Structure 1
Amino acid sequence: MGRNADRRRRRILLGHCLRATAVASLLTTLYYLAPLEGGLGVLTVLTLVLGLLAFGLLTVWQVSTIARSEYPRLAALEAMATAVPLFLIVFSATYFMLSETVPATFSERLDRTDALYFTVTVFATVGFGDIVPVTGAGRVLTTVQMIADLIVVGVIAKALFGAIKIAMRRRQGRRLPYDDAEDPDEEP
Structure 2
Amino acid sequence: MRQPRHENLRSMVAFAAVTLFYYTVPVRDLESGGAWVLTVIALLVAVALLGWVITHQVGRQLRAGDQTAVRIKSLLLLIYLVVPLFALGYFAIQEHTGDQFAGLVTKTDSLYFTMTTLATVGFGDVHATGQLGRMLVTIQMAFNLVFIGTLASVLTDQIRRRAEKVGQK
> What's the TM-score, normalizing by structure 1?
0.64
**Equivalent residue, structure 1, for 2:140:** 145
**Equivalent residue, structure 2, for 1:13:** 4
TM superposition shift of 1:138 = 1.0
1:76 pairs with 71, 77, 83, which one? 71
2:128 counterpart of 1:133: yes
Relative to structure 1, the CA distance from residue 145 to residue 28 in structure 2 (aligned partners, 3 Å threshold; closer, same or farther) is same
2:87 counterpart of 1:96: no
Relative to structure 1, the CA distance from residue 71 to residue 80 in structure 2 (aligned partners, 3 Å threshold; closer, same or farther) is same
- 1:100 & 1:149 partners in 2: Cα distance? 24
- Corresponding residue SS for 1:126: coil
Unmatched runs of 5 consecutive residues or more in structure 1: 1-7, 166-181, 184-188
Pairing of 1:34-113 with structure 2 (within 5 A) = 34-38=25-29, 58-59=53-54, 61-69=56-64, 72-113=67-108
> Runs of at least 4 residues of structure 1 off by over 3 A?
50-61, 69-74, 155-158
Which protein has the bigger helix share?
2
Residue identity opposite 2:56 in structure 1: W
Instruction: Indicate if the aligned counterparts of 2:87 and 2:107 stay in contact, CA closer than 8 A.
Output: yes
- Corresponding residue SS for 2:103: coil
**Equivalent residue, structure 2, for 1:30:** 21
- 2:66 & 2:13 partners in 1: Cα distance? 20
- Select the structure of larger CA radius of gyration: 1
- 1:83 & 1:55 partners in 2: Cα distance? 9
> What's the TM-score, normalizing by structure 2?
0.71
Instruction: Indicate if the aligned counterparts of 1:16 and 1:74 stay in contact, CA closer than 8 A.
Output: no
Q: How many residues align?
A: 150
Relative to structure 1, the CA distance from residue 86 to residue 61 in structure 2 (aligned partners, 3 Å threshold; closer, same or farther) is same
- 1:123 & 1:54 partners in 2: Cα distance? 23
Compare relative contact order (CA 8 Å, sep 6+) and give the higher one, 1 or 2: 1
- 1:96 & 1:109 partners in 2: Cα distance? 7
- 1:151 & 1:24 partners in 2: Cα distance? 22
RMSD: 3.7
